[in-house]
Amino acid sequence: MKIYLKKDTLSWILYDFANTIYSMNIVSLYFSQWFIIDLGEKDIVYSIAFSISLIINGLTMPAIGALCDARASKHTMLTLFTILCCVSTALIGIMGNLNPLLITSIIGLFIIANFAYNASQALYNALLSSVTTPDNYGRVSGWGVALGYAGSILGMLAVLPFVKAGGRISAFLPTGALFLALSIPAFLFVRDKATPREESINIGLAYRKVINTLKKTRRYPGLLRFLIAKAFYEDGIATAILFMAVYAQQVMGMSDEVKVPFFIVSTTFAIIGSVVFGYITDRLGPKKTLIIVITGWVICLVFISIIKTTLLFWLIGAVVGIFLGATWTSSRPLLLKLVPAGMEGEAFGLYSLSGKVAAIIGPLLFGGVVLIAEPLGAVKYRIGVISLAVMMTVGLIILLGVKEKQILQYKS
């Protein structure tokens, strides 16, 4: 347990607690419902806005990662992007209360907030190697994910009184404030322990470094294949998270009073899954663990698309929670096993790029399927979920080809 009591390790874990408040309250729960249900906007419009935020993130993060590696400044950029996300989130709440018809401005703020959140997440992931040793990557990552989901429970409960009093738009300001306040220990105590490089860095050079990093992946076949696989399976996961609250209301008929406990139950099981699978990852290895997790996801999505009773939906929600927590617990250590020391920032830039570029397609695919199936009523959402299961199956097939030999060579 001594490894977890270090100030920087605890602060790194606590940051997961903080940022998951944003992802749960804004991405999973209230923005999609407020925008689609309360304002009556189309699912595809929300999908486009979400995808734009990921396009910007995908295009910029590899360069930011390369710059941070050269300057050993991942902790500084983590602080800046976190503040940008929190301020933009709070402004959505203020503007939405003043004039919810300013759709363009609200969408713009959401794009900025979500871009900044994803940028901070990539930098946070890369800082794992600065707060613990390789032998503890799985466990520390698992505890981070676990505490993160505990944060999402706290976040839901903390803003629920505001939502009951003022509607879904009232969730944004307190969410931004909570995220910012709980991130302060990471701002103060987590430091990038890499050694700054002497060479001069500019934006053009940073993008050339990205190209060189892409070329480097040919030296590590397991890395390239893993990034492609991740693009597909994270696509399905991100889109499921994005629309699950809308699905719960439009298909299963769940009210906000029921949805919040549902998400709390699912999140509680995510905590269990992240901790348990952290130990499983260190014991079985990240690849085998991740194969189990993605297979579970595909099965759950198929069940979600066909079940009609609320009880079964609750049960599947709990199982999905386990696999959600396990996904990040096993994915991050797998990447670190496939790259050499000193390449973590660039690799996590590509890690972000692979997920975000593909996640552009996921929401658009889901939104497009729902739009085409509009005459079918609520069934359109069931068809959309099937499309996500197909995407994740493709990712699973690609993941199976990641060579275990590549991992063993790096470990030695």
The stretch 59-77 carries a mean pLDDT of 80
Domains of the chain, residue spans: 2-189+203-411
For position 282, what pLDDT does the model report?
A: 84
Q: How far apart are CA 138 and CA 141, in angstroms?
A: 5
Asked whether residue 70 carries a pLDDT value surpassing 60, the answer given is yes
What is the Cβ-side half-sphere exposure of residue 19, based on CA atoms within 13 angstroms? Answer: 30
For position 258, what pLDDT does the model report?
A: 87
Q: How far apart are CA 267 and CA 317, in angstroms?
A: 9
Asked whether residue 338 carries a pLDDT value surpassing 60, the answer given is yes
Q: How far apart are CA 115 and CA 55, in angstroms?
A: 9
For residue 65, which of 377, 339, 248, 298 has the smallest C-alpha distance? Answer: 339
CATH architecture, range 2-189+203-411: Up-down Bundle (1.20)
For position 83, what pLDDT does the model report?
A: 97
Q: How far apart are CA 218 and CA 290, in angstroms?
A: 22
Asked whether residue 412 carries a pLDDT value surpassing 70, the answer given is no
Average pLDDT, the chain: 85
